[in-house]
Structure 1
Amino acid sequence: MKIGCPTEIKPQEFRVGITPNAAQEAIARGHEIVVQSGAGVGSGFDDDAYRDAGAVILDSAEEVFASAEMIVKVKEPQSSERKMLREGQVLFAYLHLAPDPEQTKDLLASKATCIAYETVTDKSGGLPLLAPMSEVAGRLAPQSGAWALQKANGGSGVLLGGVPGVRPANIAIIGGGVVGAAAARVAVGMGANVTVLDRSVPRLSYLDDVFMGRLTTQYSDKGAVIELLPRMDMVIGAVLIPGAAAPKLVSRDQLSLMKPGSVLVDVAIDQGGCFETSKATTHQDPIYEVDGIVHYCVANMPGAVARTSTIALGNATMPHMLAIADKGWKRACADDPHLMKGLNVHAGQLTYAAVGEALGLESVAPEDVVNA
């Protein structure tokens, strides 16, 4: 199979879909790799690194899309990229379709086969292709929020760890999954007072054991959130429903409960955000203010640490990319029900129910198109 890797064009996105090591693995199995010139530079991989792996360097995205049977990316295809997709072509990337009707419409119109990293599952029920980026985003969240708390950035001027005689910041993390646990690890390490909310008592018990009392756990419901908001200097939204739009955990009216200059960090913004006032921002212009509350809602947080993120993502995606290339997408999905969960669009049909529910569109079971 000929596999193509274009340069990411989403603003301030420096990651790349295929590392030189992944290219070398694919080429060793008899596949061809074509990479757009400069695609890996933001992650520290120059064109020569890909040439040394055996890949062919092409000048433009148009050439990559036109020649490749499978396109491997990081972020969802932008409008200009979606126009280059064609029937029978496979797209393997993060898609986050639930809050994005325009992208969904374009992918359906392309009649391409689109497999989303974020809905591929594993035997334990986890999301193995989302997990490494969730780890990165979770670890970045307190760091980014600490920057937003600085007075020059519109924040209240509170230092996360405080100093002797001055209390540290209070941070609430809503969601105790991969993102929440990673955020808690960094926030606790920075010396903040941390409360993690989740609806799973076993998960709260696990976090209590792991952190050995260095954070507070609390069952998550509307009353608990309302009770905590007035005391918090930062709230990190870390709730995910696989493939579906994120639930709104803090309403605009509830912003009035928070102290002026407090910070909301919305790690769920790719799925529409978990605060009512969230809207996607970029690394270039990451924050905005609503009713005196600073919002940090960068939609590709891991792109800020592109080399670490690219290598971590490549480690997770490479086995699936190779399976699709070796067997073809249909056989690969038939052999691996967890990969089948990643199938979101095929030949003009929506194949992920949660996206259909979010957008009011009809969907079919992925098994139906795989077994057709």
Structure 2
Amino acid sequence: MKIGILKEVKDGESRVVLTPTEVKVLSRNGHSVLVEKNAGLNAGFPDQLYLEAGAEITQLAKDIFEQSDMVVKVKEISPKEYALLQPGQILFSCLHPAANKEEVDVLLEKKVVAITAEDTHRFGSPNCEVAGKLGALMGIQYLLSTNGGLGKLVGGVGGVPGIQALVLGGGIVGKSAVDVLASLRAQVRLLDINIGVLREAQFLFPKNVTTGFSNQETIKEILPNVDLVINCVKWPKQRADHLITREMLCMMQKGSVIVDISADVGGAIETYRPTTFNEPVYTVDGVIHFGVDNIPGAVPNTASIAYAASVFPHIHSIANNGVEKALIDDEYLRKGLTAFKGVLTHEETGNIQERQWVKPEELLN
């Protein structure tokens, strides 16, 4: 199979979906790998390393699309890439289809086999861990007075306690954020709706981390004393309510910070809107909001190595066995199947966008 690795075009995104390590394995298995020029450069993988691994370097994304059976990348395809898709081509990337009707229209029209990578992880994406840890560090940074914040030091000093941090959601993202904050001696409150998650956190984290059940009333009690809020809750897209509303911002101190790692417009944080690393923050009612929706892009070397290792088994299986057999053999890969040659196969997208969809199992017989 001929596999094409694209250079990311999203603002502030420097990750690469496969490193030379994975390319070498594909080459040894008889597959051809095309890499767009400088696709891995900002992640620490110059073209020469890909050449040594057996890849061919191409000058343009257009060349990748025209020559590849399967196109792989980290982030969703951009509007300028829509026209480059080829009928029957396999696309593997983080598509976020439920929130992008225009993209889904193109995937169906082009009759590609599109796989949403974020839904295929057996043990959760490494990007979640990266985002949680980095989101905590970003929040700490914007608490500095030089960045418009309260002017508080995360761990405090003798006689002055550390910051009060509220983490919403105890999944991979939330636990990773708590890990950083707790290690820097912040006073952390972790809220979740799952007693098992909260019980685990009691034993996992030191005593500067306390837990509670996540609901709006509890959050209202906590907000007046909170310096930093980190949202790690992936809010169901069909819900119209929020965990923290615009009205609730008046309870918070001026110069406090909200970091929304889940980055859902209309999600758990009503006042969230996406930003980039060029202008990462905005202020609403005196509260600083950090809204970058691709936080791991700031640490492309670490994120690329971990992410490539996690998705490579899927890409390798598709290359070796063909996409249909790979889908039949792996239920996690099937969970990510979004469009199959003109048929929508992604449940969340079908429900949110009110489209007809078919279960992958039915389509694949």
Fold match by TM threshold 0.5: yes
Letter in 2 for 1:101: K
Return closer, same or farther for 1:270/1:54 CA change in 2, 3 Å cut-off.
farther
SS at match of 1:261: coil
User: Which of 230, 235, 255 is the equivalent residue of 1:236?
Assistant: 230
User: Which of 296, 300, 313 is the equivalent residue of 1:302?
Assistant: 296
Aligned residue in 1 for 2:331: 337
Cα separation, 2, equivalents of 1:44 and 1:218: 41
Return closer, same or farther for 1:16/1:270 CA change in 2, 3 Å cut-off.
farther
Aligned residue in 2 for 1:110: 110
Aligned residue in 2 for 1:96: 96
Contact 2:237 2:267 in 1 (8 A): no
Aligned residue in 1 for 2:47: 47
Letter in 1 for 2:4: G
Cα separation, 2, equivalents of 1:16 and 1:217: 37
**CA shift for structure 1 position 361:** 2.3
What CA deviation, in whole Å up to 9, does each residue of 1:53-106 have, x standing for no partner?
000000000001110010110011111112211221111111112222222222
Return closer, same or farther for 1:309/1:245 CA change in 2, 3 Å cut-off.
farther
SS at match of 1:98: helix
What CA deviation, in whole Å up to 9, does each residue of 1:240-272 have, x standing for no partner?
369988973211111111111111101111676
Contact 2:242 2:270 in 1 (8 A): yes
Return closer, same or farther for 1:247/1:70 CA change in 2, 3 Å cut-off.
farther
TM-score calculated relative to the size of structure 2? 0.96
Cα separation, 2, equivalents of 1:252 and 1:108: 37
Contact 2:242 2:266 in 1 (8 A): no
What CA deviation, in whole Å up to 9, does each residue of 1:11-53 have, x standing for no partner?
0100011111111111111111000111010101111100000
SS at match of 2:97: coil
Letter in 2 for 1:47: D
Contact 1:87 1:111 in 2 (8 A): yes
SS at match of 1:269: coil
Aligned residue in 1 for 2:200: 206
Contact 1:159 1:169 in 2 (8 A): yes
Cα separation, 2, equivalents of 1:366 and 1:193: 46
Q: What aligned pairs does 1:1-372 form with structure 2 within 5 A after superposition?
A: 1-122=1-122, 126-127=123-124, 130=125, 132-240=126-234, 248-269=242-263, 273-371=267-365
Alignment RMSD: 1.8
Return closer, same or farther for 1:29/1:92 CA change in 2, 3 Å cut-off.
same
Contact 1:2 1:32 in 2 (8 A): yes
Contact 2:235 2:268 in 1 (8 A): no
Return closer, same or farther for 1:335/1:364 CA change in 2, 3 Å cut-off.
same
What CA deviation, in whole Å up to 9, does each residue of 1:87-133 have, x standing for no partner?
211111111122222222222222211111111143xxx43xx2x00
Letter in 2 for 1:14: S
SS at match of 2:10: coil
Contact 2:215 2:243 in 1 (8 A): no
Letter in 1 for 2:111: K
Moved over 4 A (4+): 241-247, 270-273
Cα separation, 2, equivalents of 1:270 and 1:79: 20
Percent identity at matched positions? 39
Cα separation, 2, equivalents of 1:74 and 1:244: 26
Cα separation, 2, equivalents of 1:345 and 1:12: 28
SS at match of 1:298: coil
Return closer, same or farther for 1:186/1:210 CA change in 2, 3 Å cut-off.
same
Cα separation, 2, equivalents of 1:226 and 1:266: 17
Cα separation, 2, equivalents of 1:105 and 1:154: 42
Cα separation, 1, equivalents of 2:352 and 2:242: 13
Return closer, same or farther for 1:249/1:75 CA change in 2, 3 Å cut-off.
same
Which 5+ residue runs of structure 1 have no aligned equivalent? none
Cα separation, 2, equivalents of 1:370 and 1:270: 32
Cα separation, 1, equivalents of 2:241 and 2:87: 34
